[in-house]
Structure 1
Amino acid sequence: MHPITHAASRPDHAAIIDAASGKTVTYGEMDAFANRMARWLRARGVTKGTRVALLLENRPLYLQLLWSTQRIGAMLVPISTRLTAPEIGYILEDAECALLLTSAAFADTAKVLADIAPALEMVDVDDAAFQGEIASQSAETIEDPSPGQYMLYSSGTTGQPKGIVPPPPPSEDITAPNPLVGLATMGVGMPADGSMVYLSPAPLYHAAPLGWCSTAHRLGGTVVIMDKFTPEGALAAIEQYGVTDSQWVPTHFVRMLKLPVEERTRYDLSSHQRAIHAAAPCPVPIKQAMIEWWGPIIQEYYAGSEGIGMSLVKSEDWLAKPGTVGRMLYGKAHVCGPDGSELPPGETGLLFFENDKLPTYHNDPGKTAEAMNECGWMTLGDIGHIDEDGFLFLTDRKSHMIISGGVNIYPQEIENLLVAHPQVLDAAVIGAPDPDLGERVVAVVQPMEMEQAGEALEQVLREYLEPQLSRVKMPKAFDFRPELPREANGKLYKRELRDEYAKLAETERA
C-alpha cells in the first residue's frame, strides 16, 4: 500500500485537492514529482536518515514533498509555521538538518535564519530556478527506493520542543503497510478501495494531519486540504467534494457549534461517514452536541507523537461512557501513583504506556529518562484513570496542574465548563503566582463578541460555574481577550499565559 502502486493502477485518480482553489493533483502527477524531487535531493547528498526540514504553508506541494522524502529513506522534519525564527533555528540545529525547504511566504523568516544558521542550505520552492531544476529530472521510478520517516517535535507548550526519534521502520519495503493503516481500516473502518475522500482542516506540519493524510494516500483515497480552517469553509468542503472521512480537534467542533443554527445546517453532509478527532480532550457537552448533529459517525482516539500507545472509542461506546477516550488498541496503559506503584481501576494517576517499541528524545537522554519509570514504561505526561471495563478517561496534563493553598486543581474541568457556555468561544485556565495561596486560579476567556467582555459577563460566568465547581476551583479572576495563544491543531500555549502572569507578579513585587 503506497502511492506508487496507485499511480501505476489509477494515475488519473485525484490524490490531492486544494479546497480553496479546487486545484487537483493526480496520483500520476504526484508520483512523477516525487521521483523528480527525490533525484534532486539525492544529487544534494540526501540519503537514508538525512534530516530535511520543511517550513511550508498548507498547499498540495506539502504532501508532494512529503512523498519525495519518504521514498529515499530521508527523515522529514516538519516545522510549525507559528514559530519565530529563533525557535525554528533551535529545531534546525537540534535536528541536525542538512536542508530546509521553504517558500516565498517565509522569506523574512529565511533572512533571519540565514544569520542564525549560515551553514544550512535553504531552498525556496517557489523560486523559478528550483522549479526548473526539478522539471529537468527524470520522472521514472527511482532506483533502490527506501522508506523514510518523520522526526516530529513536540509543541513546546511547557519548554523547548523535544525531537522524537522514531524506532527504525519495520521493513525496507516502502509499500509495506504501517500500524496506522491497520488502525484506519480495521479500527476506524476507512475503505481500502480508493473511494475515500478525506478532509484535513488542520496544519499539515502536525503529527495527526501528516499521519492521516499519508494513510489516506496509502489507501488510494483523495485528500482535500484546507489552507486555513474556518467552520463555514470546512462544512462547505464536505458538501462540495463529497467528503467521506475527516479528522478534527475539539476546537474545530466548538467553532462549528458556535455558528448560527441556520448557517451550520445549510450544508449537505450526507456523504460524511467517519469523523475522527484527537489532540485534546473534548468537553462532554460539545461532543454530545456533535453526535446529535452529525450522528454516531464520530470516533475519538488518544495518542501522542511518540507513538507509544493508542486508544479508540466509537460513538456508541462513548455515549455509554461519556468522556472516555476508549480502550487501548496499541500499547498497554498503566495508571501510577506518586510513588510509582500501579493503581487499581477507577483511581486517578499518571498514565504510562508499556510498549516494545519506544522512541527517544533527540539529543536529550535526560528528557527520555524523565519520561520513563522503573518498569520501562513511558509517559506523555497525562493524568487519568482506567475503569473496570478497560476504558480510559483523561483528567488533564500533569504540567497544567494548579496547586492553590495546597490543593491540586486540574484546569481542564473548568475549561470544559466555560467553553460550553453560549457566550464563550474559547477559554484557558491557569495558575497565576499568589503570595498567600502559592497559585490562584485565573480564567482567560475569549468571548463570542469582545463587546460582551467586562464585569457583567464575569458575573454571568460566575453564576454559571458556582453550582458546578467547589469554591477552591472557582477562578479568582477573569481576563477577557480577543484571542488565545492556541495552535491550529488545538494545542493551547499555556506557557505563554503563565509566563505573562509570572512577569506581572514580579513587576508588582518590585
Structure 2
Amino acid sequence: MSVSPYDRDLDRNPANFQPLTPLTLLERAAAVFPDRPAIAHGPLRRDYREFHARTKKLASALAKRGFARGDTVAVMLANTPAMLECHYGVPMCGAVLNALNTRLDPASIAFMLDHGEAKAIIVDREFAPVVAAALKRAKTRPLVIDYDDPEYDGAGERLGGLDYEALVAEGDEAYERTAPGDEWDAIALNYTSGTTGDPKGVVYHHRGANLLAVGNIVTGDVGRHPVYLWTLPMFHCNGWCFPWSISVKAGLHVCLRQVRAKPIFDLIAEHKVTHMCGAPIVMSILLNARDDEKRPLPHVVRFFTAAAPPPAAVLKAMGKAGFEVTHLYGLTEVYGPAVVNDWKDEWNALDADAQAHLKARQGVRYHALEALDVIDPETMRPVPADGETMGEVMFRGNVVMKGYLKNKAATERAFAGGWFHSGDLGVKHTDGYVQLRDRSKDIIISGGENISSIEVEDALFDHPGVQLAAVVARADDKWGETPCAFVEMKPGHSATAEELIEWCRARLARYKCPRHVVFAEIPKTSTGKVQKFALREQAKLIDASPA
C-alpha cells in the first residue's frame, strides 16, 4: 500500500496536535478577560482571574494529596461556586469528577461511591444527613471534605475533618494543570438509573466535553458575555456541559441553590440574565408564580428545555411572559442535549397551533454530533422519513459516551451495530426532524429526572399485601410526568393509597414515589404480560388530584 504524500514526514507533534479538553476554555477566558465577572452568588462576586486561580489551587491541593489520573472525586453540591470550581479543578489534576444527584437516597449514593471507587467526596452541609447514611452503607472510605455555603442557612452537620476552603488554601496558584495524556481520558462520571438493576456509570471524555461545550454555544447562538442563570442542576449531565460552555464567551454564572419563582425573577432582573436551562417543571414554576413574586424581564430571555415536549399552551404562555423557548433532546449518554429543534424563519408565518406542533418535535442533530437517525433495531436500517414509521432513535459521534463503567455487556448492547441505541422510539418527518413517540423502556421523566418504572414496581412488590403492581407515566402539569401505580392486592389483604405511597417513600427517593395509586385488576395478555399501553390510557382518565 503506497503512502500518501500528505502522510509522509507530516507527523503529529506538540506544535500541531493537542488533546481537546474543556479546561483550555477557562484558561483562555482568564487570559483574555481576567476582569470580567465570572460568578455571582448572593453578595459574592468573582472575576475570571480569581475563578481560574481558585481552580488551579484546588487542582494543586488534590495533587499534593495524591490524586492523579483516573482517581474519582465525588461531589454532593448544589449549584454553587464550589460546584463550578470542581468542574475545572478536579480534572486539572487528572482526576474524574462524579457529580452526585442531590435528590437520591442513601442506598443509591452508597452504590455509586463504591462502584466509582470514590477517593474523595465534597459535601454541601445541606446534604450531610443523606451522605452520612450513605457512608455507613458504603464499603469505600473516601476523604470527606465539607463545603459550607454562606447562602445556606439551614441545618446540617460537618462530616469530615477538612473544610473545602481550607483545602483550596493548601493549593498553589501557579500550578500547571495536568494535560490529559489523551483526549479520550475520562473527565466525568455520571450515573443513570436505566430501567433495571443498579445504576450505570456513564463515562465522559475530554474530547466529548470540549465539543459539546462549544456545541452548546453554536447551537444556542449564544453571543458575547452571556449571563447564565443556573436553574438546571449541575449534577445533571454536568449541567449539560454549560459549566464549560460559559467560559467560551467569558459569561457570568449566576448561581442558585433552589429553583423558586421569586429568586429566579429577582436574579433575572438584577443580573439581566440572558440564558437559562431547565426541565418543564421550571417553566411551570415561572408561569404559576404569584404576582408579588414576578419582576419585569429586562429583555427576552432564552430558555432551553429538554425532557417531555412542552404542551402547546405552555409554549404559548412562555412566549407571552417574555421567554423564548428552544426544545432540546438528549440523554446522559450523549453529554446531555445533542438534538435541537432548529427553528426555521418560514415557520414564523404559521399560526400558533402549527408552531407549537413544530416546537414539540425533538429536531435535528447538534453540529457536534456526527449522525442522528431513526433506525429499525432489527435490520439496522433507517426507517422511511414519513412521520409515521416507528424506529429507535440512535446516535453516532464524538459526543457519545466512552461507555458504561465496569459494564462491558451493557456497553456492547448500547453500541451494537456501530450506533448508540437510545431506547427511545420515534419517527422521522419528511424534513428529517425527529419526533419521539414512546419510550421502549418505560422510563418516566419527572421534573427532568428519569424514574425507572421497574424500580417503583419492585418497591411496591416488597409490600406483604401486594400481589401485582404496574407503574406507568401520567402527565402532570407541574412535573411533566409522575409515576402512577396500578395495584392488585392479595386475597385477604388491603391497603390505602396513602399507605402504599408512604411505603414507597421509606424505600425510594421521594420524587420516584407514585403520586396516584389505583386498585384494580391489571390488564394482561394471554401469556400474562402486563398491557402497559392500556394502563397509560387509564391513567389519562384519573382525576388531577393525587390519591
The CA deviation at 1:129 is 5.7
The CA deviation at 1:101 is 1.7
Aligned match of 1:376: 418
> Match of 2:285, as an amino acid?
R
> Match of 1:81, as an amino acid?
T
The CA deviation at 1:431 is 6.0
The CA deviation at 1:341 is 4.8
**Alignment deviations for residues 314-349 of structure 1 (CA, whole Å, 9 cap, x no partner):** 455555724211122224233234644532122123
SS in 2 for 1:381: strand
CA distance in 2, matches of 1:8, 1:472: 55
Aligned match of 1:72: 93
Q: Normalized against structure 2, the TM-score is what?
A: 0.69
The CA deviation at 1:273 is 4.4
1:169–1:49: structure 2 CA closer, same or farther, 3 Å change rule?
farther
CA distance in 1, matches of 2:379, 2:220: 34
CA distance in 2, matches of 1:36, 1:425: 40
CA distance in 2, matches of 1:42, 1:215: 25
- 1:104 matched to 2:125? The reply is yes
Aligned match of 1:354: 396
For the 8 Å contact 1:255–1:425, the answer to whether it is kept is no
Which of 417, 427, 430 is the matching residue for 1:385?
427
- 1:89 matched to 2:117? The reply is no
The CA deviation at 1:384 is 1.1
The CA deviation at 1:208 is 5.5
The CA deviation at 1:434 is 5.9
Which of 312, 315, 322 is the matching residue for 1:284?
312
Aligned match of 2:144: 122
The CA deviation at 1:70 is 2.7
Aligned pairs, number: 428
1:23–1:396: structure 2 CA closer, same or farther, 3 Å change rule?
farther
Aligned match of 2:375: 336
SS in 1 for 2:262: helix
Mind listing any 5+ residue stretches in structure 1 that lack a counterpart? Answer: 171-176, 403-408, 436-441, 446-452, 455-468, 483-510
SS in 2 for 1:3: helix
- 1:169 matched to 2:169? The reply is no
The CA deviation at 1:220 is 0.7
What is the root-mean-square deviation of aligned Cα atoms in Å?
A: 3.6
**Alignment deviations for residues 377-421 of structure 1 (CA, whole Å, 9 cap, x no partner):** 12222121110100111123222289xxxxxx9966x62xx52xx
SS in 1 for 2:144: strand
**Alignment deviations for residues 244-286 of structure 1 (CA, whole Å, 9 cap, x no partner):** 11112111112222235x457x522233442211133322332
CA distance in 1, matches of 2:536, 2:133: 47
- 1:324 matched to 2:352? The reply is no
**Alignment deviations for residues 451-501 of structure 1 (CA, whole Å, 9 cap, x no partner):** xx99xxxxxxxxxxxxxx99982436558439xxxxxxxxxxxxxxxxxxx
- 1:398 matched to 2:440? The reply is yes
Which of 281, 294, 300 is the matching residue for 1:251?
281
What does 1:30-69 correspond to in 2, within 5 Å?
30-69=51-90
CA distance in 2, matches of 1:188, 1:256: 21
SS in 2 for 1:393: strand
SS in 1 for 2:334: coil
CA distance in 2, matches of 1:207, 1:313: 20
CA distance in 2, matches of 1:225, 1:434: 46
Q: Which moved more, 1:106-115 or 1:251-260?
A: 106-115
> Match of 1:122, as an amino acid?
V
1:158–1:114: structure 2 CA closer, same or farther, 3 Å change rule?
closer
CA distance in 1, matches of 2:104, 2:313: 33
The CA deviation at 1:366 is 2.1
Which of 457, 467, 473 is the matching residue for 2:537?
473
> Match of 1:282, as an amino acid?
P
> Match of 1:326, as an amino acid?
G
**Alignment deviations for residues 15-65 of structure 1 (CA, whole Å, 9 cap, x no partner):** 1112xx232222222222112111110112111222111112332111122
Aligned match of 2:210: 178
For the 8 Å contact 1:102–1:125, the answer to whether it is kept is yes
1:118–1:74: structure 2 CA closer, same or farther, 3 Å change rule?
closer
> Match of 1:383, as an amino acid?
L
For the 8 Å contact 2:374–2:428, the answer to whether it is kept is yes
For the 8 Å contact 1:396–1:410, the answer to whether it is kept is no
Aligned match of 2:262: 232
- 1:201 matched to 2:231? The reply is yes
Which of 263, 269, 272 is the matching residue for 2:297?
269
**Alignment deviations for residues 91-127 of structure 1 (CA, whole Å, 9 cap, x no partner):** 1111122222223333334443443235332222446
CA distance in 2, matches of 1:167, 1:67: 14
The CA deviation at 1:9 is 3.2
- 1:142 matched to 2:163? The reply is no
1:23–1:377: structure 2 CA closer, same or farther, 3 Å change rule?
same
CA distance in 2, matches of 1:95, 1:112: 18
1:197–1:122: structure 2 CA closer, same or farther, 3 Å change rule?
same
CA distance in 2, matches of 1:83, 1:219: 33
CA distance in 1, matches of 2:214, 2:78: 29
CA distance in 1, matches of 2:321, 2:421: 35
1:470–1:165: structure 2 CA closer, same or farther, 3 Å change rule?
closer
> Match of 1:300, as an amino acid?
H
Aligned match of 1:498: none
> Match of 1:392, as an amino acid?
V
CA distance in 1, matches of 2:59, 2:535: 60
CA distance in 2, matches of 1:178, 1:231: 32
Q: Which moved more, 1:242-251 or 1:316-325?
A: 316-325
Percent identity, aligned pairs only, is 21
Aligned match of 1:460: none
SS in 2 for 1:306: helix
CA distance in 1, matches of 2:60, 2:277: 33
For the 8 Å contact 1:14–1:222, the answer to whether it is kept is yes
For the 8 Å contact 2:191–2:201, the answer to whether it is kept is yes
Mind listing any 5+ residue stretches in structure 2 that lack a counterpart? Answer: 1-23, 149-160, 348-354, 444-452, 454-469, 490-496, 502-514, 517-532
Q: Which moved more, 1:331-340 or 1:215-224?
A: 331-340
- 1:187 matched to 2:219? The reply is yes
